[in-house]
Amino acid sequence: MREILGVLDRWYAARLPFGLATVVSVSHSAPRGPGAALAVGPDGEVVGSVSGGCVEGAVFELAQEVVATGVARLETFGYSDDDAFAVGLTCGGEITVLVRSVTPARDPVFGAVAASVAGGEPVTSAIVVDGPAARGSTLAVWPDTIAGSLGTRGLDAAVAADARGELSLGVTGLRHYGPHGERRQDTVTVFLQSFAPPPRMLVFGAIDYAAAVARIGHFLGYRVTVCDARPVFATPSRFPEGVEVVVDWPHRYLRGTRTDERTVICVLTHDPKFDVPVLREALRRPAAYIGAMGSRRTHDDRLRRLVESGLTDPELVRLRSPLGLDLGARTPEEVAVSVAAEIVALRWGGTGAPLSTTSGAIHPRGVV
């Protein structure tokens, strides 16, 4: 949804009705997770995807139908066999898609949600999927306010409480309530789609490898900052557009920067006067990934210095050093792929092994 929201906001501002299909649940090896979206706008223009191509044709027709009728639809697409004309997923998975018509009259809070996402402000869009409440009704939830309604005050309050509790983690998925927000009932199904601000990637050391790591981090959706104390290296012209470049001592910058459980920290300086102070700071704060570049010898020396600085074993075990997966990488771009692969594997619990040598589900289960 985040990828296509700019286009949808333009249609919405121009009061052009469009059909919006959103994946609200998946099972087994589905190609895309909850929150994936496809929209059909004026003149049949299509943006986004819900399945990577398997059921897009059927969803296109549904979207046109709901725009014409104004009645939201909930459809499930499962496995399709060898019949080339069957509508379904060839991967063996199953997706459930909510298709609704979006206009300022039908969804008066869509524009505000889009503006918050564009501005990096955390917001959750809660949409009724099934039950006695009107399907497609929407409630927008911010940390300190709400807008719209799902039908009853009690349901709005319960959903808002749950949305705020999970917004910081960017949780997206289905929740079940009674018609007035009762916790132990499941007559109303609500889809919560959280739009937390993009996670941070902090790259310390403005070397040639940093530009490649910053580029792939930006591609993965991180808000990337490169920091180095040496102004001759820390120049914006050496890094991709959209990457923040800061001239400061790494440990001092990190000390004044907020991190959370989604933050990625890559220390590429491999110079003790820079990397030991910044790693000492990093290993004592929340982060999803903390990696440091260097040879085995550099790692052993760095580890000794970190122990001497007072770090404990539980703190040191968080350090990924040398950073990256063993891909045989040589060039800065290849090393960046290696680092990104380790970050993704750590996020989802992947092994890093070739899929051809593993068995079982390819895609991890759980909320996205």
Instruction: Report the chain's mean pLDDT, rounded to a whole number.
Output: 89
Looking at the predicted structure, is the pLDDT value of residue 361 above 80? no
Quick one: 356 exposed, middle or buried, by C-beta within 10 A (0-12, 13-18, 19+)?
exposed
pLDDT digits (tens, 9 = 90+) for 335-350: 999 999 999 999 888 8
Percentage of the chain exceeding pLDDT 70: 91
Q: What is the pLDDT of residue 348?
A: 83
pLDDT in tens, 28-48: 655 668 899 999 998 899 999
Res 16 pLDDT > 80: yes
- Joined together, the tokens standing for residue 172 give 């997206």
State yes or no: pLDDT of 367 exceeds 50.
Answer: no
Query: Tell me: the pLDDT tens digits for 126-168?
Result: 999 999 889 999 999 999 999 999 999 999 999 999 999 888 6
Chain centroid to CA 306: 33
What span, in angstroms and rounded, lies between the C-alpha atoms of 219 and 238? 17
pLDDT(86) > 50: no
Q: Which residue is associated with the tokens 């959750």?
A: 124
Instruction: Tell me the residue ranges of DSSP E strands in the chain.
Output: 18-27, 37-40, 46-48, 73-77, 94-102, 123-130, 138-141, 146-148, 172-177, 188-195, 200-204, 223-228, 244-247, 264-267, 289-292, 319-320
Number of C-beta neighbours around residue 339 at 10 A:
28
pLDDT in tens, 203-234: 999 998 999 999 999 999 899 999 999 999 99
pLDDT at 363: 60
Residues paired with 202 in a beta bridge: 225, 265
φ and ψ at residue 175, rounded to 5 degrees: -135, 155
Q: Which of 144, 103, 139 is nearest to 121 (CA)?
A: 144
Cβ contact 199:223 at 8 Å: yes
Which residue do the tokens 């068995």 mark? 359
Categorize the per-residue pLDDT at 355 as very low, low, confident or very high, splitting at 50, 70 and 90: confident
The mean pLDDT of 109-134, rounded to a whole number, is 93
**Predicted pLDDT of residue 81:** 44
